[in-house]
């Protein structure tokens, strides 16, 4: 994960197109406080503004004013894009911050980082039900779904452990279903009842339902008809129980690819799924994800358009070759609840994210809308880099709580930390300013520096004030 700007923050950093907004640049490092005695140059530029010559010299001449140690200005964005906020202090190095303007539909939605596909040792994973939610929160996740193979109850147990404590993180129910005699894997997320229970414990009723579905699929080649009926039944049951049916890792390769080209086309042509996992944790290189991405694009050209998600399919949070924390989704939802998240995915307000192993800066996002992908890149660098730091403390406390330590009240105090930051980031809460006592402390520091300490440049010592350029012997 990228580190946020070390010296300054912009509040809000996300604004609404066409709406005049007051924006405050707040020193993160309080020694960088804005002072009237300094000379400031300030400007703002759209990254997608029309540009005839990219060798242009930006003019930093926009109006602003200083208040309580911060720089404040008003701005009205005329288009949806990222803006570069730039300023200099006393002719020094140009500082750059980022600002993003959104149209109203996207501005009203909250960005959430999540994982729709993960496992514990209750199926074939290596991590526990108690610690898994905590470790996801430590990684900066707003939500995740626990989707053990053919069992929903483990996700219910994970949520139940923390049910008495308010959390900033949302734990979703889920299971990965794959009926007998089929290589099909479908991730069901958000359902209230397990689908696998039916084909395990009510086999006769399940087979009868397949017979009925199969009779409607005479247009499907016979060798695929039963398996297509299985896929249709699973997706129908997931939706009936309130869940989202996700086509999991279409190019999983345990020996051979798990779907022939003909069967894969049938599954898309039948329009069975609510979303497709184009980024997943299967495989240690990018080949399988690349094939899944290309398949999704090719199917979209044919008219089989599906929303996308990214998931880690994590089986071991500590594996050096694993994708835990590196494959995920960014969902733009009304709120951090199961209903809102599923609605957002179904409506196409999601992108899949992938961070290649060993290079946190090389983030890749995939989706059907340029505006969502472009905004996700901005968020990864300037928003999720901040919220991950906020989440780490809560995740650590969740681990201690899971181990039985009496930290419930302390954990509850963290519950609104990320949501409060989101509101400031979007201007839904007032921008923070430096309190008077901090400014007074800085005044004392500056006075002692001026009266007691020289300015140093390597081994040279210079006095302040009237003797700036006089060398002390």
Q: How does DSSP classify residue 34?
A: -
Mean pLDDT for the stretch of residues 295-307: 96
Residues 268 and 362 in one domain: yes
Instruction: Tell me how far CA of residue 282 lies from CA of 37, 221, 314, in angstroms.
Output: 58, 29, 9
Residues 222 and 269 in one domain: yes
What is the per-residue pLDDT across 328-377, written as a single tens digit (0 to 9) for each? 999 999 999 999 999 999 999 999 999 887 666 789 999 999 999 999 99
Helices (H) and strands (E) in the chain, counts: 14, 21
β-strand pairing of 460-462 with 455-457: antiparallel
What is the per-residue pLDDT across 389-444, written as a single tens digit (0 to 9) for each? 999 999 999 999 999 999 999 999 999 999 999 999 999 999 988 888 888 888 88
Residue 473 pLDDT more than 50? no
* Token pair belonging to 176: 């990965």
**pLDDT score, position 455:** 64
Cβ(12)–Cβ(25) under 8 Å? no
Residues 95 and 213 in one domain: no
Instruction: Specify if 435 maps to a domain.
Output: no
Cβ(112)–Cβ(336) under 8 Å? yes
Instruction: Specify if 440 maps to a domain.
Output: no
Q: How does DSSP classify residue 4?
A: P
Question: Could you tell me what percent of the chain has a pLDDT over 70?
Answer: 93
Mean pLDDT for the stretch of residues 17-42: 92
**Opening angle at CA 404, ends 400 and 191, nearest 5:** 80
The CATH number of the domain holding residue 160 is: 3.20.20.140
Whole-angstrom Cα distance, residue 82 to residue 369? 16
Mean pLDDT for the stretch of residues 197-215: 95
Cβ(273)–Cβ(264) under 8 Å? no
Instruction: Tell me how far CA of residue 453 lies from CA of 108, 165, 449, 450, 458, in angstroms.
Output: 51, 51, 5, 6, 15
Q: Is the peptide bond before 12 cis (omega within 30 degrees of 0)?
A: yes
Residue with tokens 């279903």: 177
Residues 93 and 119 in one domain: no
Instruction: Tell me how far CA of residue 112 lies from CA of 118, 185, 249, in angstroms.
Output: 17, 25, 22
Residues 211 and 67 in one domain: no
Mean pLDDT for the stretch of residues 215-236: 97
Mean of the per-residue pLDDT values of the chain: 91
**pLDDT score, position 126:** 87
Residues 92 and 123 in one domain: no
Question: Could you tell me what percent of the chain has a pLDDT over 90?
Answer: 73
Cβ(11)–Cβ(389) under 8 Å? no
Q: How many domains is the chain partitioned into structurally?
A: 3
Where residue 284 falls among pLDDT bands split at 50, 70, 90?
low
Residues 12 and 122 in one domain: no
Which of 118, 135, 134 has its CA nearest to residue 329?
118
**320 against 239, higher pLDDT:** 239
Residue 102 pLDDT more than 90? yes
Residues 42 and 174 in one domain: no
Whole-angstrom Cα distance, residue 60 to residue 130? 53
**pLDDT score, position 457:** 60
Predicted model pTM:
0.93
Residues 159 and 196 in one domain: yes
Residues 88 and 74 in one domain: yes
Instruction: Tell me how far CA of residue 82 lies from CA of 61, 78, 332, 382, in angstroms.
Output: 19, 11, 17, 11
**pLDDT score, position 471:** 45
β-strand pairing of 350-354 with 364-366: antiparallel
Cβ(346)–Cβ(244) under 8 Å? yes
DSSP for 39-60 reads -EEEEEEETTS--S-SS-----
Which of 289, 365, 298, 291 has its CA nearest to residue 332?
365
User: By residue range, what is the domain housing residue 206?
Assistant: 110-414
* Token pair belonging to 264: 């894969």
Whole-angstrom Cα distance, residue 353 to residue 203? 38
Least confident of 1-5, 77-81, 335-339: 1-5
Half-sphere exposure of 76 (CA within 13 A, CB side): 4
Residues 52 and 199 in one domain: no
Residue with tokens 């074939």: 124
């Amino acid at each position: 994960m990228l580190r946020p700007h070390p010296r300054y923050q912009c509040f809000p950093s996300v604004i609404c197109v066409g709406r005049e907004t007051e924006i405050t640049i707040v020193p993160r490092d309080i020694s960088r406080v804005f002072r009237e005695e300094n000379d400031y140059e300030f400007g703002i530029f759209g990254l997608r503004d029309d540009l005839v010559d990219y060798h242009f010299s930006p003019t930093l001449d926009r109006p602003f004013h200083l208040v309580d140690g911060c720089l404040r200005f008003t701005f009205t964005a005329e288009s949806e894009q990222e803006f570069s906020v730039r300023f200099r202090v006393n002719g020094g190095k140009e500082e750059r911050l980022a600002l993003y303007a959104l149209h109203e539909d996207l501005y009203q939605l909250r960005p959430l980082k999540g994982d729709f596909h993960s496992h514990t040792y209750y199926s074939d994973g290596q991590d526990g039900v108690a610690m898994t939610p905590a470790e996801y929160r430590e990684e900066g996740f707003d939500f995740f779904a626990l989707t053990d193979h053919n069992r929903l109850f483990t996700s219910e147990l994970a949520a139940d452990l923390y049910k008495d404590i308010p959390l900033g993180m949302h734990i979703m129910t889920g299971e990965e279903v794959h009926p007998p005699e089929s290589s099909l894997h479908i991730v069901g997320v958000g359902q209230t009842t397990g689908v696998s229970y039916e084909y395990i414990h009510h086999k006769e009723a399940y087979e009868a339902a397949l017979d009925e579905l199969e009779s409607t699929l005479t247009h499907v080649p016979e060798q695929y008809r039963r398996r297509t009926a299985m896929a249709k039944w699973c997706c129908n049951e997931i939706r009936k129980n309130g869940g989202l049916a996700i086509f999991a890792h279409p190019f999983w390769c345990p020996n051979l690819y798990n779907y022939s080209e003909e069967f894969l086309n049938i599954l898309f042509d039948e329009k069975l799924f609510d979303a497709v996992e184009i980024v997943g944790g299967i495989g240690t290189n990018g080949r399988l994800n690349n094939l899944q991405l290309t398949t999704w694009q090719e199917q979209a050209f044919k008219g089989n358009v599906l929303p996308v998600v990214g998931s880690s399919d994590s089986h071991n949070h500590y594996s050096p070759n694993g994708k835990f924390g590196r494959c995920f989704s960014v969902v733009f939802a009304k709120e951090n609840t199961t209903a809102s998240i599923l609605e957002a995915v179904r409506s196409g307000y999601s992108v899949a994210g992938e961070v290649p192993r060993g290079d946190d800066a090389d983030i890749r996002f995939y989706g059907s809308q340029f505006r969502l992908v472009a905004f996700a890149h901005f968020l990864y660098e300037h928003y999720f880099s901040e919220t991950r730091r906020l989440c780490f403390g809560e995740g650590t406390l969740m681990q201690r709580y899971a181990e039985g330590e009496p930290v419930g009240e302390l954990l509850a105090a963290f519950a609104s930390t990320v949501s409060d930051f989101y509101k400031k980031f979007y201007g839904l809460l007032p921008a923070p300013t430096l309190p008077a006592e901090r400014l007074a402390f800085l005044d004392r520091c500056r006075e002692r520096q001026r009266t007691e300490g020289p300015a140093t440049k390597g081994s040279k010592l210079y006095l302040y004030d009237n003797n700036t350029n006089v060398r002390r012997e």
